Amino acid sequence: MIELTALAVLLASFYIAWNIGANDAANAIGTAVGGRVLSFRRAVSIAMLFVLLGAALEGYKLMKPVGEQIVTGVDPSVSPFSILPWAAAIALLCAGLVVTLQTRLGFPISTHQAIIGALAGAGVAIGTFSNVTAHVNWWKLLIILWSWVLTPLAAAFFAFVLYRVFEVPLKRVKAPEKLNLIFAAAVIASGCYVAYVIGANGVGTAMGMAYAVGCGGGTSSSVQLLALLGGVGVFIGSLTYSRRVIQTVGAEITSLGPMSAFVAQFGAALTIHLFTQWGLPVSTSHAIVGGVVGAGLVGGIAAISRRRLGEIVIAWIATPIASMFLAFCLASVIIVV
C-alpha cells in the first residue's frame, strides 16, 4: 500500500515536472522566440539541454518539499504530508490540473504558486476532517503573496530603466545590425541561464515531494535518477505543450525586438537575483511578464495589450485560489468517504 502511494506521488511529481516544462519554458525562450532571435525548435532544443544540465548538476540540492512550512503538524519537524502521503499526491495532482488549464489558455503562471495553494487546501482538509493535526501558516502565506505582487512590478521597473539607459549611447551607433547581433547573443545566453535555473529549481520543486515520501530511496544515485526523471518531464512538457505560453510572453503582451527582449530578460533576472538575496520566494513567470511589460512601456502605454495583461493578472490571482479549492474538495471527499 505504501509503495502504491509512493508510486502515485512519483507520477504526480512527473506530471508537475511536465507542467513546469509546458508553462515555464516561456520564461527562458519566450523573449528569444518573440524577438525573432531564434525559431521555436532551435530555442526549445538549446534551452532543454540547459534544463537537463541544471537538473543533473544542482536539482538534487534543491530537492525538498515545496511549502514545507506552509502546513505544519504538532511536531514542526514532521509534516502532515509525510504521515498522509496520498494527500500530497492529491495536492500535486490538483496543482498540476490548474497549471495545465492555464497553459492551455496561454497564461504564464507560477507552478510554485499552484502547489502552495493546493497544499494549503489539502492542509485545511486534513486539519478539519482527519485525526491528523495540521495547521496552515496563513502569515507565511501572506508574506509569499506580498512577494508575488512585488516581483512583476520590480521587473517592469528594471526593464524600463535598463532600456532608457542603453537607448542613449546606442542611438549614436552607426551599425544597428551588429548591435542587434550582440543583443541576440545576449538574449540566447540569458535564456540558457534561465533554463539552467528552471532545471535546478523546477526539478527540485517537482520531485521534492516524491523524494520526501521515500521514492528516492536515499542513495545518491537514486536521487540523481529522480532529478533525471524530473528533467525529462520538463523536457517533454516544453516540447509538447509550451508553444501557446511562449506566444503570449513573446508576442501578445507587446511586440519585442532583440534589444527589448534582452532588457526584459535582464530586468527579470535582476529582480530574481535581488529577491533571492532577501530570501523572498519569487516566480520567474511573474518576473518575465513584468520585464516584458517594462520593455513595452518604453513605447508608451498604447504599446501594451492591456486586455491580455489584465487576463494574465486574473490568472495569477485565480491560480492559487483554484488549486486551494480543488485540493480542499478532493482531499475532504477522500477523508470523509
Partner 1 sequence: MALESWQILYILIALAGLLMGWLFDPRSGILFIWALVIAVEAFDYMKSRRVAKSST
Which residue ranges make up the site for partner 1 (CB under 8 A)? 41-42, 45, 48-49, 52-53, 55-56, 221, 224-225, 227-229, 231-232, 235-236, 239-241
How many CB atoms lie under 10 A from the CB of residue 278? 8
Q: What are the backbone dihedrals phi and psi of residue 137, each rounded to the nearest 5 degrees, phi first?
A: -85, 85
The torsion defined by the Cα of 309, 310, 316 and 319, in degrees rounded to 10, comes to -120
Q: Please, what is the angle between helix 203-212 and helix 220-241, to 10°?
A: 130
Cell, residue 4 = 502504491
| 3-state SS record for 71-89 | EECCCCCCCHHHHCHHHHH
Cell, residue 169 = 549611447
- The residue type of 147 is S
> In the complex with partner 1, which residue's Cβ is closer, 236 or 303?
236
Q: What's the closest the beta carbon of residue 111 comes to partner 1, in angstroms? A: 19
> In the complex with partner 1, which residue's Cβ is closer, 180 or 224?
224
Longest dimension (CA), the chain: 73
Q: What's the closest the beta carbon of residue 225 comes to partner 1, in angstroms? A: 5
Residue with cell string 494527500: 87
Report d(CA 233, CA 100) in Å as an integer: 14
Q: What's the closest the beta carbon of residue 185 comes to partner 1, in angstroms? A: 17
Q: What's the closest the beta carbon of residue 47 comes to partner 1, in angstroms? A: 11
- Residue 315 neighbours by CB under 8 Å, 6+ apart: 102, 105, 107, 109
> In the complex with partner 1, which residue's Cβ is closer, 230 or 267?
230
Q: Check if the beta carbon of residue 24 is closer than 8 Å to that of residue 198.
A: yes
- 3 state SS of 165: helix
> In the complex with partner 1, which residue's Cβ is closer, 109 or 234?
234
- The residue type of 28 is A
How many CB atoms lie under 10 A from the CB of residue 74? 10
Cell, residue 219 = 542513495
Report d(CA 200, CA 63) in Å as an integer: 9
> In the complex with partner 1, which residue's Cβ is closer, 147 or 247?
247
> In the complex with partner 1, which residue's Cβ is closer, 108 or 231?
231
Q: What's the closest the beta carbon of residue 48 comes to partner 1, in angstroms? A: 7
Q: What's the closest the beta carbon of residue 7 comes to partner 1, in angstroms? A: 15
Q: What's the closest the beta carbon of residue 118 comes to partner 1, in angstroms? A: 25
> In the complex with partner 1, which residue's Cβ is closer, 230 or 290?
230
How many CB atoms lie under 10 A from the CB of residue 335? 18
> In the complex with partner 1, which residue's Cβ is closer, 233 or 290?
233
Report d(CA 269, CA 248) in Å as an integer: 19
Q: What's the closest the beta carbon of residue 223 comes to partner 1, in angstroms? A: 9
Cell, residue 336 = 470523509
> In the complex with partner 1, which residue's Cβ is closer, 19 or 130?
19
Q: What's the closest the beta carbon of residue 265 comes to partner 1, in angstroms? A: 22
